[in-house]
Chain A
Amino acid sequence: MKYFKNLVKPYVLWSSVMIIIPLFVMLLYAVTNSGNSLVNIQFTFENFKRFAEPVYLNVFVKSLKLGIITVAICLVVGYTLAYIIAQFKERTQTVLILLVTIPMWINMLLRTYAWISILSDNGIINTFLEKLGLSPISMMYTDFAVMIGQICDFLPYMIIPIHTSLSKMDKSYTEAAYDLGANPVQTFFKVTFKLSIPGVLNGVIMVFLLSISTFVIPKLLGGGQYVLMGNLIENQFISVGDWNFGSAISILLASIILLAIRWMKKIDTGENSQK
């Protein structure tokens, strides 16, 4: 066992250099306002206060809303798919899960560009509509475009954990429920769904985390005026060059994500203790 403990050391070293130190630097940027060089340090909460302006709060609300909707749709679609997959024979399941993961082998950027050529005003859908004699629909640079891009990119992260907990479930539980006179709907909500909650929570956390911090998808499918938290941070770092404010927003975003994870973990343990 001791031998294995030593194997962890490089990882600890690596993560402290690559994660802890940068995080600390980010925190330092967030509470100072001396520019990007960090030469004369002056502590301030100015950067956090700035975020309280209505414009930025709106961005935050918009991100949160989009994140929650994405999670909700991914959950419904992902759960259904995972459930269907779990009904097949084990061999078939492996193949089906492979099919779910195949899109993830392709770079996210490319998948998003594919959506551009599907949705754009002269894209595949509109060309098709035109052939049918229907008037074209403008889909690019709308909530719809951003949403569909996000859902497609993040769906596998929902399906896989749910499928894992569904496939590990002992079939005799549902059989028992039927024997005790529960109908299929009752069986699903009282037995199957409850037992799969750990998987659901993992999926929800992952998709929420990805969708609230995304910036490439809204930028490409929503245009430059589609500003979410991720875009705000990217702007501060890359084009504005205000790393202090950028770090402050990042810290805020990170704390929100941490809180959300904690809250969901609590639900999880609450469920477990009920059993």
Chain B
Amino acid sequence: MKKVISLIICGVLILGLVGCGEEKPSIKVYNAGEYIDTSLISDFERENDCRVIYETFDSNESMYTKVMSGEKYDVIIPSDYMIERLIKEGFLQEIDKTQISNYEKLIPGILSKDFDPENKYAVPYFWGSVGILYDKTVVSEEDINAGWEILKNPKYKDDIYMYDSERDSFMIALKALGYSLNTDDKSELDKAYEWLVEQNEIMNPVYVGDEVIDNMISGNKSIAIVYSGDAAYIMSENENLEYFEPEEGTNIWVDGMVVTKDCADVELSHKFIDFMLDAENAFKNSEAVGYTSSVQEVFEEVRDTIYNDNSAYVPRQGGAKDEYFRYQDAETKKYCAELWTKVKSQ
């Protein structure tokens, strides 16, 4: 019996070693959930005879926690403020633009933003805004024009999905109160906290994540806070819906592809980034997820064809009160996190 077992173990070990010998080059990509046309990954693998280990996260914060606890990735696709944090903490390496042949095709308007002023570390992947998705048949024009205050209009009690994200929720409250979304003034944050608590009490909203997509498509509630790209996709499935960016200003964001400092295969990682910017691939990707492409010609093409007449596909550019998120210092971050936990636990 013992002999049989040891033979089996030997066999398994040998098989394992043989497997190792044939190993293809591989990269590990870490992206937000539901944020890629997955067929592109297999296309890339076929084209470059490599393996892509693809993992997803549900928020920038959980991505950060995982990366900090020692998990290694080659390419990560976080949002602007998180990229800034990763840059500041020395976690990223500079992008070698000579290896990215499609770099010239990027939309100039979304480059050189404050989080990466010289475009050294990040290559834009998708961009967009945060806004209110609402049901035209239920919500009146007058009500929606009130902007963020509609989220406290008792008429729509029990009819709201909020986004279960600390920064986005605080952004709404801060903008509704006329403050900057990057404030570190505690009295302003306290007021935003009160705004959110009050909203929670009056409106009884449900805080959800990606479930909002399915729920809005089936028309379960008539108002939801969503990213423009999700809105574009949802609107293409449910024609009663419309997307609105309040006058008080909102958050405009760019998600970028970055290469980590301890990246194992820098060349292949750059190839992957370049691959995602290739016009044909970027088109497929944008079409599948609904988010606004960072490549100029693709952006225009999708805007004029698939998402024609879809206001959410074209985020507002140059709005005076719109802002990008910036890096929050540790103290502000901790303060907000605690307030946010309290808002939800009410």
Chain A residues with a Cβ under 8 A of chain B: 36, 55-56, 58-59, 120-122, 138, 140-141, 223-225, 227, 232, 235-242
Cα distance, A120 to B218, chains bound together (Å): 10
CB distance A242 to B344 under 8 Å? no
Whether a CB of chain A sits under 8 angstroms from the CB of B178 is no
Inter-chain CA distance A236–B62, complex, in Å, is 10
Question: Looking at the complex, which one of A59, A237, A241, A242 makes contact with B345 (CB distance below 8 Å)?
Answer: A59
Asked whether A223 and B207 contact (CB < 8 A) given A55-B345, A58-B345, A232-B345, the answer is: yes
- CA–CA, A56 and B206, complex, Å: 20
Task: Collect the chain A residues with CB atoms within 8 Å of residue B219's CB.
Answer: 122
Instruction: Provide the bound-state CA to CA distance between A121 and B158, in Å.
Output: 13
B59 at the interface (CB under 8 A from A): yes
B164, B207, B218, B346: most-surrounded residue (chain A CB, <10 A): B207
Q: Which of A138, A141, A227 contacts B344 (CB 8 A)?
A: A227
Asked if B205 is at the interface of the complex by the 8 Å CB criterion, the answer is: yes
B166 at interface by CB-CB < 8 Å: yes
Give which listed residue, B65, B207, B209, B344, contacts A241 with CB less than 8 A.
Answer: B65
Taken together as a complex, chains A and B put the C-alpha atoms of A138 and B204 apart, in Å, by: 13
Q: How far is the CB of B333 from chain A (nearest CB, A)?
A: 8
**Which residues of B287-344 are within 8 A (CB) of A?**
334, 337-338, 340-342, 344
CA gap between A269 and B267 in the complex, in Å: 67
Apart from A55-B341, A56-B345: 11 A-B pairs, beta carbons within 8 A: A58-B346, A122-B218, A141-B206, A224-B162, A224-B208, A225-B200, A239-B65, A240-B61, A240-B166, A241-B61, A242-B337
B-to-A contact residues, CB < 8 Å: 59, 61-62, 64-65, 68, 158, 162, 164, 166, 200, 205-209, 215, 218-221, 334, 337-338, 340-342, 344-346
Contact between chains at A55 and B61 (CB < 8 Å): no
Q: How far is the CB of B41 from chain A (nearest CB, A)?
A: 24
What residue in chain B is nearest A126 (Cβ atoms)? B220
| Nearest CB of chain B from residue A2's CB, rounded to whole Å | 20
CA A242 to CA B166, docked complex, whole Å: 14
Q: What residues of chain B lie closer than 8 Å to A224, measured between beta carbons? A: 162, 164, 206-209, 344
Contact: A223 with B345, CB < 8 Å? no
12 A-B contact pairs sorted by A residue (CB < 8 Å): A55-B341, A56-B345, A58-B345, A121-B218, A121-B221, A224-B206, A224-B207, A224-B208, A225-B207, A238-B61, A239-B166, A241-B61
Min C-beta distance of B29 to chain A, whole Å: 20
Q: Which residue of A lies closest to B221 (CB)?
A: A121
Interface centre among B62, B64, B68, B341 (most CB of A within 10 A): B341
8 nearest CB pairs, A to B: A224-B207, A224-B164, A121-B220, A240-B337, A223-B206, A239-B61, A227-B345, A122-B218
| CA gap between A240 and B328 in the complex, in Å | 13
Q: Compute how far the CA of A140 lies from the CA of B208 in the bound complex, rounded to whole angstroms.
A: 12
Q: A55-B345, A56-B345, A59-B345 are in contact. Are A238 and B220 (CB under 8 A)?
A: no
Chain A nearest CB from B101 CB (Å) reads 37
Q: Who on chain B is nearest to A223 by CB?
A: B206
Name the one of B59, B218, B344 contacting A225, with C-beta atoms under 8 angstroms: B344
A239 touching B62, Cβ below 8 Å: yes
- Which of chain B's residues have a CB closer than 8 A to the CB of A238? 61-62, 65
Q: How far is the CA of A56 from the CA of B342 in the complex (A)?
A: 8
> A58: shortest Cβ distance to chain B, in Å?
7
Indicate if the CB atoms of A223 and B346 lie closer than 8 Å.
no
A141 surroundings in chain B (CB, below 8 A):
206
Chain B residues, CB < 8 A from A138: 158
Nearest Cβ on chain B to A234's Cβ, whole angstroms = 10
How far in angstroms is the closest Cβ of chain A from B127?
A: 23
Which B residue's beta carbon lies closest to that of A234? B62
Looking across the interface, which residue of chain B has its beta carbon closest to that of A57? Answer: B345
Q: Quick check: A120 and B220 within 8 Å, CB to CB?
A: yes
**Distance between A13 CB and nearest chain B CB, rounded to angstroms:** 20
Least CB distance, A212 to chain B, in whole angstroms: 16
Q: How far is the CB of B240 from chain A (nearest CB, A)?
A: 14
* Set of chain A residues within 8 Å of B207, measured between Cβ atoms: 223-225
Q: Which residue of the partner chain, among A55, A235, A242, contacts B334 with CB atoms under 8 Å?
A: A242
* Shortest beta-carbon distance from A241 to chain B in Å: 5
In the assembled complex, the CB of B193 is this many whole angstroms from the nearest CB of chain A, namely: 11
Query: Which residues in B have their C-beta under 8 angstroms from that of A232?
Result: 341, 345
Q: Which of A56, A121, A236, A240 has the most CB of B within 10 A?
A: A240
